[in-house]
């Protein structure tokens, strides 16, 4: 199915070549899931988008209007994925941002089919050689420049590998290319901090809100000692890790409890709650 797209609330797919999102990656984006006409994590997406606008000094859009546009384009789709892209808008040549920017808002919605095996049995991870550069000014933001992730994701093409973990320049784990990382040690849930690089994921924020989590540095050797490992994604949900390095795991109780929480908030995965579930 061709994506349903709007630009500044008009049904079109055309953006000016002078748009700073195109020329400089000057903007932000959110990727969210819509299930049965609802976007349960939208308040967290809206909060992150607002915070990103403040840090980049981009006038923020009306979050209610953006949500309504997402739901309009998703109408009739049982399960869908939406990308909301906000740029600083058109600009003259040069890095200097316009004094009075006119942001561009692009919303794209497509049907979503999730991998049942990934949520039930888990995925295999590899370690990427591409590392994340330290930049506290941009750390945590989901800004448009994703070249580090693009290069990391280009390191493998095997369907047996579900994701790649990325290190910072000090050799500590930060995240996967498109997900955040969690590990359980003796019942204690841990996740790497994202205050120097990486993205502060919306699904990550949901886990931090409902569970006691320690933010601490974590290296690959230490990760192999974990009792459970899983990834979080606003679209894919809670993904158990089955294999990393020399270790293999079965999805554990913390992972399964969080998958049940995803069902409870209205984001079912193919293996944890049926389409007709009332949870």
Query: Looking at residues 36-57, what average pLDDT do you find?
Result: 97
For 15, 139, 200, 209, the CA distances from 203, given in Å and listed in that order, are 30, 17, 9, 10
Distance CA 236, CA 114 (A): 7
Distance CA 141, CA 228 (A): 27
Residue 65 has pLDDT above 50, yes or no: yes
Q: What is the pLDDT of residues 77-87, one digit of tens each?
A: 999 999 999 99
Q: What is the pLDDT of residues 231-258, one digit of tens each?
A: 999 999 999 999 999 999 999 999 999 9
Q: Do domains 4-111 and 116-264 have the same CATH topology?
A: no
Q: What is the pLDDT of residues 104-118, one digit of tens each?
A: 999 999 999 998 989
At the topology level, CATH places domain 4-111 in D-amino Acid Aminotransferase; Chain A, domain 1 (3.30.470)
Distance CA 34, CA 112 (A): 9
At the topology level, CATH places domain 116-264 in D-amino Acid Aminotransferase; Chain A, domain 2 (3.20.10)
DSSP of 210-268? HS-EEE----HHHHTT-SEEEEEETTTEEEEEEEETTEE----HHHHHHHHHHHHTT--
Distance CA 46, CA 64 (A): 9
Distance CA 87, CA 90 (A): 9
For residue 199, what are the contacts with CB-CB under 8 A and spacing of at least 6? 140, 141, 142, 175, 180
What pLDDT was estimated at residue 271? 58
Where are the domains positioned within the chain? 4-111, 116-264
Structure tokens given for 60: 């923020």
Distance CA 183, CA 165 (A): 13
Q: Whole-model pTM?
A: 0.93
Task: Report the share of the chain in percent with pLDDT over 90.
Answer: 92
Distance CA 69, CA 14 (A): 17
- Mean pLDDT rounded to a whole number for the chain: 94
Coil, strand or helix at 86: strand
**Beta-strand runs (E) in 8-66:** 27-35
């Amino acid at each position: 199915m061709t994506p349903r797209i709007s630009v500044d609330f008009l049904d079109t797919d055309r953006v000016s070549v002078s748009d700073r999102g195109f020329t400089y990656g000057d903007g932000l984006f959110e990727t969210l899931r819509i299930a049965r006409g609802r976007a349960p994590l939208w308040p967290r997406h809206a909060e992150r988008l607002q915070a990103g606008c403040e840090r980049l000094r981009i006038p923020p859009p009306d979050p209610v209007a953006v949500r309504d546009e997402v739901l309009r384009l998703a109408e009739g789709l049982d399960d869908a994925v939406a990308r909301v892209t906000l740029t600083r808008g058109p600009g003259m040549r040069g890095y200097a941002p316009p004094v009075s920017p006119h942001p561009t808002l692009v919303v794209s919605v497509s049907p979503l089919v999730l991998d049942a095996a990934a949520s039930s049995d888990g995925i295999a991870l590899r370690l990427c050689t591409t590392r994340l550069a330290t930049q506290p000014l941009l750390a945590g933001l989901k800004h448009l420049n994703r070249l580090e992730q693009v290069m990391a994701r280009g390191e493998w093409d095997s369907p047996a590998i579900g994701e790649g973990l990325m290190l910072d320049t000090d050799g500590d784990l930060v995240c996967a290319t498109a997900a955040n990382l969690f590990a359980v040690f003796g019942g204690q849930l841990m996740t790497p901090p994202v205050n120097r690089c990486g993205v502060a994921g919306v699904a990550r924020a949901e886990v931090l809100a409902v569970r006691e989590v320690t933010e601490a540095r974590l290296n690959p050797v230490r990760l192999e000692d974990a009792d459970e490992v899983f990834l979080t994604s606003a679209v894919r949900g809670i993904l158990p890790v089955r294999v990393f390095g020399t270790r293999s795991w079965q999805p554990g109780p913390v992972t399964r409890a969080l998958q049940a929480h995803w069902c409870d908030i209205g984001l079912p995965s193919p293996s944890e709650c049926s389409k007709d579930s009332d949870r």
